Structure 1
Amino acid sequence: MKQTLTEIYDARVAAGTLHADAAQRAVLPMLEQVREQLEAPAKKAGIFGLFAKPPEAVRGLYLWGGVGRGKSMLMDLFCDAVDVPKRRVHFHAFMQEVQAKIDVARRAKVEDALMPAAKEIAASLRLLCFDEMQITDIADAMIVGRLFETLFNLGVTVVTTSNRVPEDLYKNGLNRELFLPFIGVLRTQLDVHEIESETDYRQHRLAGAEVYFQPLGQTARTRMDALWDELTGHDEASRLVLTVKGRQVVIEHFHNGVGRASFWDLCAAMLGPADYLAIGEAVRVLMIDDIPLLSASNFNEAKRFVILIDALYEAKVRLICSAADVPERLYIEGEGTFEFERTASRLREMQGADWGAEA
């Protein structure tokens, strides 16, 4: 007989791989109900299966709450256990795929380019598990309501995590009134539950941990790698692709809200304030490798670094770095050294054990 999700959770607590949390445990019966309905035998089709309709979508779950509450862990536990055709994907990555499929259909002169994309997705699965549903791109906002309504009609069930209640998705976004029907679709098809755990496990892992490693070298790299493995649970990472004003901003390594990139990936590319704000919105922890000494010889990169740190600071992102020297000695000559004093101060503040806890 299959273990219930609660039994799986309790076994992991007993084994010491999870910490018992009442708020997390309270979610498991909701996920178990979704699992049972998805795994229930399908109703038989009509004579010879003619005119068979797709199975009805099971009511899903929208699990939201603050950072580090265990939402992604609970969804992964559920997704691993449920025995139906399924896919677990970061929401940004999924929407990038959808936009690519729509572009192909448009080039083929398909009248309604969204329909073939939705049908292709629904043909291969019954369950979509999304990590971190959030919408920052107007192109996504304009299609997401109709896309998901179509997927639900085609029998796809959705379980998703988010840092926001549905009503705060795409908050203050351009033409938001066109997006609002999507909130109604979500409320109709998904139960919305806030997880109110008092413990931020991601913050707990970093509490008291060193998060700024200098000088550069093998020791710093090894310690960065160890923290990455700890924060991602040794799971395989994927690329995070954000669309900002029609261009792509890429974080090469991303998993469960934790991103990792080199200084050169972030500051040598032609990125600006809007790009860094989008990164700050999309990640909760950012690891930056190989911050060099800064001077007039790399002034443009230094200027972008200042803007990046400002954006991460305002978004309360937890920052982990490897650097050539301590913050105060990263930029000691050339134009902009005075302005960099604020950046150095913020780099110091962001090393605090409780940094980002109020985000």
Structure 2
Amino acid sequence: MAVLSLIQRLLGKKTDVKSASPIPAFFAHKAKQQGYTLSAGQTQAIAALARQTQQLLAGKPTRSLYLHGPVGRGKSWLLDGFFQALPIAEKQRVHFHAFFARLHRGMFQHREHDDALGVTLDELLAGCRVLCFDEFHVHDIGDAMLISRLFKTLFQRGMLVLVTSNYAPEGLLPNPLYHERFKPVIDLIAARMDVLEVSSPEDFRSLPQAHAEQRFSAGQYVWPGTVAQREALGLPATHCPAQTLKVGNRQWVCRSHQAPTIAFTFNDLCEQLTAVMDYLLLCQDFDHWIIDGLPPLAQCPIAVQQRFINLVDVLYDQDKRLTLIGQQPLAHALQGQAIDLARTASRLQQLQTVCPQQAPHPVS
């Protein structure tokens, strides 16, 4: 197999890849099965994953890996494949938002302890030898300080950490007011991790074969949300009366909630003080999310844009079905100033678009 042979050459001719690491053969088979042609960056990353797997299985020290690149270039695909193929049980695959929500909650519970972080990690990562950390980004100085402590602790524990990010390490926490304070973490990443760029001329999420892999891809973007469209799709009316819903210790407003479906307006979710932990709680009970009234994001405050970005991240990672309703083409609605909107746009491209006198088709 051509891909496998190339990875073997990158690993070195003396390495018996098939017997020592299942990673190259797994990805060669997965790419062929899904009709993907691996990019040079993906191939280099697979070879690095194979090297560290060999070290891990041989009981030798490993170097962690930091994969970065533009949205839709296969970083999460690599992480998920590595996690699936790695032949050990002591591993975890976590998402940035979900992990940090649990980390903050645990540290609050153990706040009286001298090492609240260590005790929380003992609970969250008990017995874990490999941590796959997807969609890593830093925009908040509070998270940045916690990340510094977290990474030092993970490396001290000898854990193999695989990180994917849209940002090269030096691009993390881009706010110039705080970036220098994060420099020690960037230096730590450079010292303890192999940093690899995963790039490609195309966004893999736009390919037809990507649409069959997630329930998220079965969702729809509906515009302009006419009465006829709503009736045909069985969607709530535009002016559904508000209903109350308890989320954690707070009362929320939604339009309807009958499992497995919950419906909100954009205002209900993003123009209120909602948070990632709230979305994660609701994901435990609801698989189909309807969000009505997506405005042009460029007209919204940055904080509102960021809540929408976080919400889409959670729904995508939790593989929830999303029906999003707006008044204009999606590409127009998603123009804004928030840094991570490119990732949101790439993910929402997987929805099927429904517009007047047109059958559903992938958003282009």
Aligned in 2, Cα 1:14/1:290: closer, same or farther, shift over 3 Å?
closer
Q: Which residue of 1 aligns with 2:290?
A: 262
Q: Which residue of 1 aligns with 2:83?
A: 79
Q: Distance in 2 between matches of 1:244 and 1:38?
A: 46
Q: Distance in 2 between matches of 1:128 and 1:172?
A: 27
Q: Does 1:63 align with 2:67?
A: yes
- Choose the corresponding residue for 1:28, options 46, 67, 91: 46
Q: Does 1:280 align with 2:309?
A: yes
Contact 1:216–1:323 (CA under 8 A) maintained in structure 2: no
Q: Does 1:96 align with 2:101?
A: yes
Q: Distance in 2 between matches of 1:99 and 1:325?
A: 42
Q: Which residue of 1 aligns with 2:199?
A: 196
SS in 1 for 2:275: strand
Aligned in 2, Cα 1:211/1:179: closer, same or farther, shift over 3 Å?
same
Q: Distance in 2 between matches of 1:246 and 1:291?
A: 21
Q: How does 1:113-124 map to 2 (within 5 A)?
A: 113-124=116-127
Aligned in 2, Cα 1:274/1:94: closer, same or farther, shift over 3 Å?
same
Q: Distance in 1 between matches of 2:71 and 2:353?
A: 26
1:20-77 C-alpha deviation (Å, 9 max, x unpaired): 43332222110001111111247xxxxxxxxxxxxx6x21110110111111111111
Q: Give the aligned residue type for 1:289.
A: T
Q: Which residue of 1 aligns with 2:169?
A: 166
- Choose the corresponding residue for 1:216, options 220, 227, 230: 230
Q: Distance in 1 between matches of 2:272 and 2:152?
A: 26
Contact 1:64–1:193 (CA under 8 A) maintained in structure 2: yes
Q: Which residue of 1 aligns with 2:153?
A: 150
Q: Distance in 1 between matches of 2:119 and 2:231?
A: 50
Q: Give the aligned residue type for 2:135.
A: E
Q: Percent identity at matched positions?
A: 29
Aligned in 2, Cα 1:38/1:322: closer, same or farther, shift over 3 Å?
closer
TM-score when normalising by structure 1: 0.62
Cα deviation for residue 157 of structure 1 reads: 1.4
Contact 1:280–1:311 (CA under 8 A) maintained in structure 2: no
Q: Distance in 2 between matches of 1:14 and 1:292?
A: 37
1:280-306 C-alpha deviation (Å, 9 max, x unpaired): 37858988626388xxxxxxxxxxx9x
Contact 2:31–2:37 (CA under 8 A) maintained in structure 1: yes
Structure 1: runs of 5 or more not aligned: 43-55, 222-241, 294-304, 327-350, 354-359
Q: Distance in 1 between matches of 2:69 and 2:119?
A: 34
Q: Distance in 1 between matches of 2:322 and 2:83?
A: 30
Structure 2: runs of 5 or more not aligned: 1-18, 211-216, 236-268, 357-361
Contact 1:138–1:174 (CA under 8 A) maintained in structure 2: no
Aligned in 2, Cα 1:105/1:176: closer, same or farther, shift over 3 Å?
farther
Q: Which residue of 2 aligns with 1:343?
A: none
Q: Does 1:140 align with 2:143?
A: yes
SS in 2 for 1:171: coil
Q: Distance in 2 between matches of 1:288 and 1:211?
A: 8
Q: Distance in 2 between matches of 1:28 and 1:176?
A: 31
Cα RMSD of the aligned pairs, angstroms, is 4.5
Aligned in 2, Cα 1:122/1:154: closer, same or farther, shift over 3 Å?
farther
1:208-238 C-alpha deviation (Å, 9 max, x unpaired): x9954661256588xxxxxxxxxxxxxxxxx
Aligned in 2, Cα 1:254/1:186: closer, same or farther, shift over 3 Å?
farther
Q: Give the aligned residue type for 1:148.
A: F
TM-score when normalising by structure 2: 0.62
Q: Distance in 2 between matches of 1:88 and 1:10?
A: 22
Aligned in 2, Cα 1:177/1:204: closer, same or farther, shift over 3 Å?
same
Cα deviation for residue 123 of structure 1 reads: 3.3
Q: Distance in 1 between matches of 2:171 and 2:270?
A: 20
